[in-house]
Amino acid sequence: MRAVVELILIVINLYWWVVIASAVMSWLVAFGVINTRNRFVASLGETLYRLTEPALRPIRNFIPDLGGVDISPVILLLLLWFIERLVILYLLPLAF
């Protein structure tokens, strides 16, 4: 049971970094720092988009439009942090 709980925590932690990478990549594309015509950059952006969009879309539908400021990654990171704390608090003690 402990291995399953630790695996859940690792997956949450990895997804945390994927969300951060996706947000940074979107900023770099928006400010013209990186060129999306580069094949590697385009494939990396598409991969990050496909990994994060299913979790970000419901948040974007729920929160009001703030005019160009997208806070959905911040809300998703807070939700991931909350889920991680719940797993640590309730499932980790059961694993021993």
> In angstroms, how far is the first alpha carbon of the chain from the final one?
8
- The SS3 of residue 63 is coil
Burial class (CB in 10 A: 0-12, 13-18, 19+), 90: exposed
Nearest to 17 by CA among 63, 81, 88, 69: 81
Domain segments of the chain as ranges: 2-90
- In order along its 96 residues, the chain shows pLDDT tens digits of 888 999 999 999 999 999 999 999 999 998 999 999 999 999 999 999 999 999 999 999 998 888 878 899 999 999 999 999 999 998 878 866
